[in-house]
Every structure is written in C-alpha cells, then in structure tokens.
Structure 1
Amino acid sequence: MAFFSRDYEVFLLLAAPGAAPLWDAAQWTPFAASLDGLMAQARGKASVRCHQYNPKGKPIAFGRLGWDDKSHAKWTHTPQTTEARFMSLEAWAPAWTLCEKDGQAPDVFLALANEALLGLAGKPLQFSQRLVCAIATDMGADAAATLQAALAQVAAQQDAVIFARTHRQWGSASPYGGFTDAIQDMLIGGLFRQDDPHARPLDAATFREPWTRIGN
C-alpha cells in the first residue's frame, strides 16, 4: 500500500471567536488525557512539533516534544506565559520520522492553529482556532468513536461554529510522482476554497472537500 492511500476518518473543529485557546494548559491537559489511550495504541511513540514566537517574532525552541505531561508543560500556556505567541502544532503517532522510514502514514494525526496569527490581523474572525484530527480506519471503529467523543467535548467547551467529519485517504497520487492534498497540509492550505474564509458564510461552498456536520 502506498504511503498516501491509507484511509482515515478526519474531524474538523473551528472554535468560536471568544473560545478559550486550546493551547492553554487548562484546556489542553484534559483534552490530551482523553487521547492518551489512542496515542498508546499507535505503532510507535508520538512526536509533537510546535511553532511559537516571542514578541520580537523569533521562533521559540522547545527541544524534542512527545505526547506526555512533561512535553505538554513545555509548550502550553499558563497565566504566567507572557513572552510566547502560539501559532501552530502538529502531533504524529507514530513520529513522522518512523512514518517516513516504514513508508506508512500515521495512525493518529492532529494539527492545531491560532487563527489570529495566520495573516489576518485586525480582521473580524468567524472562528479563533482550527483543529484537524485524523485516525486511520484500520485502527477500528471504536478508536474513531473515542476520538469523536473527545472532540465533541472540546466542541461543546469551545462553542464550535463547525464540528464535522469526512472520510478520505491520506493524500492523492500526483501525476509528477509522490502525492499531494495530504491530510497534513489541510490545516493551513487545504481546508478552504478562499484565502480568507472569514469573508463569507461558512457553508458547503466555503470548503474544498465535503464535510458532514456533527451534532447539528
């Protein structure tokens, strides 16, 4: 099986403009705990990379991050966090290096972004955060249900304006070799048809792919 041809259940959550940031420790800690079991089922240890910047715009180095309490504490924000601006985060289970080595896409994937730092400063936002989570269908229906249940709790807490799911492969074959339109690229460049998704209603025509809304 080609790297890109593995099937996934993919979930999308767009948080309300006034929602508490998921990168706050108080929000992230219980959410991460609800996914610990899924991460432990992966064929290798999870790895996390996080992009944050100091007030001067320079990247903040966190060192190697995994899916554990010690790593979460390094990058999540608390009331004492004043010198860090969260931009985005990716979690791969197993780590992307192992996925590349064994030629198989991850068992579980998660990506989170802060809408305010995606080049839309000063514009009114319809949502404040975007979260994409994917789990391989061969992990089983129970695993997908566990992920959906964990995300449903977050959706309720964040008064999500969109909570939806779709079924798709990790990517699509490229005529030039390799693959394109990967799940790992959805968060920043693969969700919306428009460069500015806040300039029009969040209806079916806004999204590049069909999504089925959950709970509404």
Structure 2
Amino acid sequence: MFSDRVQRGYLALLRNLAGHDPTIPGAPRISWLAAHKWVVDAKINGFGPGSLGALQFANNLTLLGVASPPSPVEMAQWISDHQDKGAFCGLQVLGFQLEQKNASPSAVRVAFLCVYAWLDNFLTTDDKLVLDFGPIFVEQLLCKVGRWCRRLNDYAAQKTAKVALSQLADKAFEGARWTSGENLTQFNKWPFPPCTKYKPAVFRKIIESR
C-alpha cells in the first residue's frame, strides 16, 4: 500500500502542505474532492471508486485539517453517485421519494439539503461543536437511520408487533413543547424538533434561507 508510487503521489497531492503542521491557522489545504479523487485514482485495494474506504480517507484528511470540508452539494453528489450506500437508504427511510438506485442527482441533492438545512437551523452552536456538525456529520447520521430501523425491527420480531422508528419518535414528542437548547441540560430532550410540527411554509423558508 505504501509503495514509492503511492508516497510520491501523496506528496504531489499535498503540494505546499507537505512537511507543515495542518493545525496551524492559515495553513494551506487541499480540497475534499481532490483527496477523494486521489485515493481512488491511486488504485489501492479497498479504496476503489464505489468504496466507503475512499470516502473515509477524504473525511479523515478533513478531520486532521489536511483537507477542507466538503460543501453540502459535494456531499449530496457523493450520495447520488453511491445510491447503494447507507446515506441514500437513510433519505428513503426519512420519507423522501427517491427511486431505488436510479434517483436523479437533483432529487438526491434536494433531499440531502433539506435534512442538512433543518439540522443547521435548529441545532445550537454548542450542539454543533459537540457533533462537529457539517456535511460529513449529516452523511454519517443518515447512514445510521436505516441501520437503526432494521435493529428495531429485528428486536420487534421477538415481540408481538413491530417497533416503527416513526412511532417511537411520535411518542417521544407527543404533548411536549420543543425548546432550543433544553437538550444541553436535560438528557431526555431533543436537540431539534420534528418537521411534522411545522407548516410547509416554515420548512420552505428554512431551506431558502440557506
């Protein structure tokens, strides 16, 4: 994996950043897209075009400060290009009408930006710091939606009725008034409200303000 060819290619990718501390303010950065493209083009086993390894490579360089974070649109495009992965499934589970493995890039982009904008609008600054909020976080979050639905259904298979994630969410919010920031001091409070409690006009305003 760490052949001379790969090492030379990585140094070429880093350019002026090579040999410098990426945590220093103002240090040069490579783009998230460039990092992802490089590792795919390097033809390293496990980091191919459709792999999660390539995504995590670019994400890790971002977390280390070597690469700049992806934009929401760039992450949405990655999800569109990899409709067999968990984030795309998560959007479907949340109710977005996306054709299985054949959804248009624009439809996936709109769905992802809706989720991103909703969280960006309601999460507090403290929430965002704890979560390291950004497109990478939202993609990772979407990956877990389908997984948790399956786990709940597997658990429910041992019971008399299925446990629907949407029903659990409705029960958690039933009769409760959501207040921004309450989750910071009360563990049983949610960091953002359910979109079902808001009129479409409010949702549209949030999206358009981004």
TM over 0.5: no
TM-score (norm 2): 0.28
Q: Which has the larger radius of gyration?
A: 2
**Greater relative contact order: 1 or 2 (C-alpha under 8 angstroms, separation 6 or more)?**
1
Name the structure with the higher strand share. Answer: 1
